[in-house]
Structure 1
Amino acid sequence: RGFGSFRLRHRQTKEGRNPKTGESVSVPEKRMPFFKAGKEIKELLNPELPPV
């Protein structure tokens, strides 16, 4: 609790390019992991600075 959570994001099929030949290729759809940090870990990593 407070650490964060992992979710899946879906990437749609897209057109890519082979850098060696310049040929157009189809990149298939895929699921990518995504981490959303919780409030507590954000506060630990980015503490509030005292006013100047």
Structure 2
Amino acid sequence: MNKAELVSKMAEISGMTKASAEKALNAFIEAVGEALGKGEKVTLVGFGTFMVTKRAARKGRNPRTGEEIKIPARKIVKFKPGSNLESIVNKKK
């Protein structure tokens, strides 16, 4: 599912227009991005938690040359699904 399909589905489920659904989705993405940028966790009970963690610097290899390279430390975004989301995903049909 891409963003346009998600907007259409949100509009269908909520009864709002596609334009309103797209505004709501964009606002959600912006709000989550800002919170994660500040290092905060975003928890949506039943859905899951978005969090920022640090990945340590490490050594890697260039796949073309086999040469060893340094991979710098960086922050990454992780998502831990909530129990309701896991049960929906694992529901047998």
Alignment map for 1:29-44 (pairs within 5 Å): 29-44=73-88
Q: In structure 1, the residue corresponding to 2:88 is in which secondary structure?
A: helix
Q: In structure 2, the residue corresponding to 1:43 is in which secondary structure?
A: helix
Alignment map for 1:1-40 (pairs within 5 Å): 1-40=45-84
* Structure number with higher strand proportion: 1
Calculate the TM-score normalised by the size of structure 1: 0.76
Structure 1 unaligned spans of 5+: none
AA aligned to 1:25 is I
Q: Which has the higher contact order (CA 8 A, sep 6+)?
A: 1
Q: Which runs of 4+ in 1 moved over 4 A?
A: none
Calculate the TM-score normalised by the size of structure 2: 0.47
Aligned residues: 49
* Structure number with higher helix proportion: 2
Q: In structure 2, the residue corresponding to 1:2 is in which secondary structure?
A: coil
Looking at structure 2, the residues matched to 18 and 32 of structure 1 have their Cα atoms a distance apart, in angstroms, of 21
Task: Report % sequence identity.
Answer: 35
CA shift, 1:47, in A, is 2.4
CA shift, 1:35, in A, is 0.5
